[in-house]
Amino acid sequence: MTDFMQQTLDRAAEQAPAWLQDWLQDGRGRWQASDLPTRKTESWKYTSIHALRQPFAPPEASSMALADVAVQLPELGGYRLVFVNGHYRPELSGAELPAGVSLVRFADADAGQAGRIREHLGTAAGRDRALFTALNDAALADGVFLEIDAGAQVEKPLHIAWVTGNQDSAFSVNQRLLVLCGEQSRARVIEHFASARGQQETFTNGITELLLQRGAALEHYRLHLEESAAMHVGGVYAHLGNDASLDSFHLALGSALKRVDVLVEHRGPGAHCELNGVYLPRGSEHVDYHTCVEHAVPGCTTDEVFRGIVADEASAVFNGRIHIHPHAQKTRAQLSNKNLLTSASAEVNTKPELEIYADDVQCAHGATVAQLDETSLHYLRTRGISAAEARVMLSFGFINEVLDAARCEPLRDFLRPLLAQRLSRDPALSRHLV
Amino acid sequence: MLKIDNLHASVDGKDILKGLTLTVQPGEVHAIMGPNGSGKSTLGHVLAGRPGYTVTAGTVEFLGEDILELDTEERARLGLFLAFQYPVEIPGVSNMEFLKAAVDAMREQRGMEPIDAVSFMKSAREACKAVDLDQSFLKRGVNEGFSGGEKKRNELMQMMMLEPRLAILDETDSGLDIDALQVVAQGVNAMRSPDRAFILVTHYQRLLNYIEPDRVHVLAGGRIVRSGDKGLALELEARGYAWLEDEVA
């Protein structure tokens, strides 16, 4: 562990503000004391991080235009914040924040803001839990702190785009987002990861913390639209207070390595969490979602639906855990994971895990791995639709049901054609879906 | 238009059709009746090329082509339409997307450009109206959560949009109340034309009160055991099928 990322960590320590130095050091200590997971590590059994065992340079500031790297961002009619290779790009970002929202980059924080960040940073992601959180802490030169005032009803989407462009050699990017939703506030936050076409290998470590105070409602999207050589290991860590409601939508196209951990803790009675996700690896790509919802208190609910289509030689992992603690009576939780394999060489490993230690609960879970339904395929063909187009339509239908759960309409309109086209390399086959 | 000669077919190794012969001319309406398990639905599925239905002997010519050699979609593009007894639900794909894809496939076959969105919507709305389906059904998933009657009307709507040369209606009347039955009958009657033919597969004479057939056939034991005019249907209604089965045996 000594060499890996050393240069990046040194650079981060040079750039980080003084008030974060001890934070970085602590992270570095934890990182260096650990070993990289192997296939024998239970939570990494089906995902190899072998591809990370190579030198990654620190990210350089970049002035490239989004058009040059062929990254398209949706117009969502809200506020946008753009980072390229980990560096903030004010000229690509929005000017005016909606009322009730404050946003500060760690690098710009004044003493008061720094204090506020330190008060909340790490509360959900933990300081001892995950190896890659330690790495994120160790490389924390900059981050974003987003605060929704108590009672604020923010209708406009807050869109944070993390883009990786090109550099001379393989490089790594560290990203951190801390969202604090005040009591009875309402907001919509979109995290959007994108990569340039034909870029060299990159490794992004993106950690997000969502802190929902009493009665707060957050609609959250984490879109991994990076492709091919853009590797990502990261996670979303959420704390839900009394009657808080988190609606979190996840999407991942594949790349050489993509691993996202989602951990939601119900910490106040009456909290509700909706987790929806779609993953679409193809070629030789790999996607791994590990989700865990902790029901630590009574009277909370969880609805979780993840669906994946795995094509070609690609592989996917879904591990969905729901843990109901002894006092968490009156819990209602359901988890469903369905997978579609569109080639004989595609692979999926799915494991729903329900751990229930309370006796007055309603829980259900299920996982399926299947191929396209022959009867449906035949039905479409009896209407003159070619077998190839019918396959694309049925595949799209399979994920479209989950996509409908994304409430942000302009975002859905942005994603629909993108996902439909993803299902076939021949755009003619998805023309009736876009 | 359709020439079936000595057709034998099996499903899961079990012989269902055992020498069926039938000729349908353009403009004709044929009714095929028969007891349960006689092979009525199998005939429709074999003609549409459903996987698992194996033709073991005989020939089927449609518009001069040996369709047994063709894929399901190629048969459909030639103008063969099967209204399913149990239409399939396809969640996540809207009726509209599905219909547009089907219409464009037919147009491509005829060397035409894809239909433009405005014209398509106009004819889809008209077809909805003709079968008494609310336009909101266009936006819903294909047959998703439709009642039995709504599914049947959706089949009929597809038939209107696709304008087939030969439409096979597989028990489209079963499970319909009298109003829905009349909607189906009106739809078929409106589409009758000198170059289009229909095969109505049905259990009951009831449908034939509204759609007058040119020929009525009785299918039993995988073969057509008797053919006649519409009078035969009335006779079956009065006497049941047993006497015919006895005669054949």
Give the single-character DSSP code of A413.
H
Nearest 5°: the CA angle B240, B242, B244 is 95
pLDDT confidence of residue A95: 74
Task: Give the model confidence (pLDDT) of B162-191 as tens digits.
Answer: 999 999 999 998 888 888 899 999 999 999
Span A381-404, average pLDDT: 96
On whether any CB of chain B is under 8 Å from the CB of A386, the answer is yes
| Chain B residues with CB-CB distance to A432 below 8 A | 97, 100-101, 104
Task: Give the model confidence (pLDDT) of A253-267 as tens digits.
Answer: 989 999 999 999 999
On whether any CB of chain A is under 8 Å from the CB of B137, the answer is no
Task: Give the model confidence (pLDDT) of B32-83 as tens digits.
Answer: 998 888 899 999 999 999 999 999 999 999 999 999 999 999 999 999 999 9
Task: Give the model confidence (pLDDT) of A19-69 as tens digits.
Answer: 999 999 999 999 988 888 888 888 899 999 888 888 898 888 877 777 777
pLDDT confidence of residue A116: 96
Say yes or no for a CB contact (<8 Å) between B72 and A381: yes
pTM over 0.95: no
Say yes or no for a CB contact (<8 Å) between A383 and B90: no
pLDDT confidence of residue B249: 56
For residue B7, which amino acid is it? L
As a whole number of Å, the CA-based R_g of chain A is 21
Distances (CA, A) of A114 to A17, A105, A333: 10, 10, 37
Cα A261 to Cα A126: distance, rounded to the nearest angstrom: 13
Q: What count of residues does chain B have?
A: 249
Q: Of A374, A379, A400, which has the smallest distance from its Cβ to B92's Cβ? A: A400
On whether any CB of chain B is under 8 Å from the CB of A90, the answer is no
pLDDT confidence of residue B234: 87
Query: Residue B197 in contact with residue B166, Cβ under 8 Å?
Result: yes
**Which range among A54-68, A83-97, A165-179 shows the weakest confidence by mean pLDDT?**
A54-68
Measure A254 CA to nearest chain B CA, in Å.
22
pLDDT confidence of residue A35: 85
On whether any CB of chain B is under 8 Å from the CB of A50, the answer is no
pLDDT confidence of residue B248: 62
Q: Give the residue, A82 or A1, on which the prediction is more confident.
A: A82
Say yes or no for a CB contact (<8 Å) between B97 and A380: no
On whether any CB of chain A is under 8 Å from the CB of B85, the answer is no
Q: Look at residue B141 and tell me whether its pLDDT is greater than 80.
A: yes
| Chain A residues with CB-CB distance to B81 below 8 A | 382
Task: Give the model confidence (pLDDT) of A121-156 as tens digits.
Answer: 999 998 666 889 999 999 999 999 999 999 999 999
As a whole number of Å, the CA-based R_g of chain B is 18
Q: Look at residue A1 and tell me whether its pLDDT is greater than 50.
A: no
pLDDT confidence of residue A52: 87
Span A412-429, average pLDDT: 92
Strands B53-62 and B65-66: antiparallel
ipTM of the complex: 0.96
Q: Look at residue B89 and tell me whether its pLDDT is greater than 50.
A: yes
Q: Look at residue A2 and tell me whether its pLDDT is greater than 60.
A: no
| The CATH number of the domain covering residues in B2-248 | 3.40.50.300
Interface mutation vs chain A, best among B45, B73, B170, most A CBs within 10 Å = B73
Q: Which residues of A409-430 are buried (b: 16+ CB within 10 A; e: fewer)?
A: eebbebbbeebbbbbbeeeebb
Say yes or no for a CB contact (<8 Å) between A379 and B90: yes
